[in-house]
Amino acid sequence: MIMQINFIDLERQQQRIEKEIAEAISRVLKKGQYIMGQECVDLEQQLAEYTGRKYCLGCANGTDAIRLALAALNIKKDDLVLTTNFTFFATSEVIAELGAIPIFVDIDETYNICPIDLERKILALKNSNKKIAGILSVDLFGLPAKHKDIDRLAKSYGLWHVEDAAQGFGGKIGNDSACSFGDISTTSFFPAKPLGCYGDGGAVFTDSLEVAEYIKSLRVHGKGTHKYENINIGYNSRLDTIQAAVLLEKIKIFDSEVDEKNKIAVRYSSALDGIDEIIVPKIPSGYTSSWAQYTLRVERREELMDYLKGEGIPTTIYYPKTMSQTKALNSFSKYQLGDLKNSIEFADSVLSLPMHAYLTDDEITHICNKILTFYSF
């Protein structure tokens, strides 16, 4: 019989905290404050403490979190925003939707924005007298981007820096947590993200009281001190109380899940590192990933995927196309500078393996053995 493995196993997680979640939801139902209730306030406080930020503000989803962050920085039409070419579409989508222009930067072997290419592009734009607004970095697959370098560049060239940590929550550089880098950080609570709820949700983080107050207004139709005194053009982007209640239970087991995933990543990497056709993910020293994905670069990718599928092992390609290669963002190609070699090359060979805190030893062994078998042919 074939062992069927889940790519992400939210069912096993749910079994662990079933009772707590049911009680938490039932408390919300009884109190009847379904949007921005007390649980939302408690969650914001806990997440601010967890990340080391002064302010956390819940919102409707991770895409809105980026939108609120860029709106709070007063992004304008035709502003230039430097961002990674290798990410989930939402990152660049928001830039374009707000009328700004994404300038794509290549990645390095960590899959995150390359600080060398970033500086090269900043200088090229400066030299042609183009005004840059800011940098939107991404913590891809759970690994924080090289934020010390990015923050240094942002500071020395007078740019803002927003950290899209939709996949990065729980990651660290030394003792500094994801969602603490740059001027504003954002995250997503989409179920499959490192810290997921049971629906859509997101949050924005900042140390600036002014930005926090502005986002509080923007997320509720630009409200002033009173709900019906509107002082800004904003959005409807609030967090549901039930989702906050779910997250308050999930945050209690979150660190143990990240630890578990780190152990699994070590097991994967030590078993697969010796295979010539495979490059295992690189975590720079001092960095901790929260392993939103465990992503290899492989040869004969499609063949391997088919073979593993037949053995009950699901795999996914994150991401088959870079931002510059999407039809939707094609109109920005005239603004691009230099090549985007790594990202375009990596998109052709990346493959993500099952990764969640509830993979058993037998399942991990099975996955590694099947990959070893495939490449021994």
Ligand X SMILES: *Cc1c(COP(=O)(O)O)cnc(C)c1O
Q: Contact positions toward ligand X, by CB under 6 A?
A: 61-63, 87-88, 90-91, 138, 164, 166-167, 188, 190, 200, 202
* Nearer to ligand X (CB atom), residue 91 or residue 206: 91
Q: How close are the terminal C-alpha atoms of the chain, in Å?
A: 23
* β-sheet bridge partners, residue 134: 81, 160
Nearest approach in angstroms of CB 358 to ligand X is 21
Nearest approach in angstroms of CB 43 to ligand X is 15
* Nearer to ligand X (CB atom), residue 140 or residue 364: 140
* Nearer to ligand X (CB atom), residue 91 or residue 217: 91
Nearest approach in angstroms of CB 113 to ligand X is 12
DSSP 214-261: HHHHHTBTTB-SSTT-B-S---B---BHHHHHHHHHHHHHHHHHHHHH
Nearest approach in angstroms of CB 10 to ligand X is 15
Cα(275)–Cα(194) distance, integer angstroms: 28
Nearest approach in angstroms of CB 191 to ligand X is 10
Reference 205, options 237, 173, 225, 182; nearest CA is 182
DSSP 331: G
Tell me if 348 sits within 8 A of 310, measured CB to CB: no
Nearest approach in angstroms of CB 299 to ligand X is 26
* Nearer to ligand X (CB atom), residue 90 or residue 103: 90
* Nearer to ligand X (CB atom), residue 39 or residue 200: 200
* Nearer to ligand X (CB atom), residue 40 or residue 278: 40
**If 0-12 CB within 10 Å is exposed, 13-18 middle and 19+ buried, where does residue 233 land?**
exposed
Cα(207)–Cα(16) distance, integer angstroms: 34
Cα(85)–Cα(333) distance, integer angstroms: 12
Classify strands 80-84 and 132-138 as parallel, antiparallel or unpaired: parallel
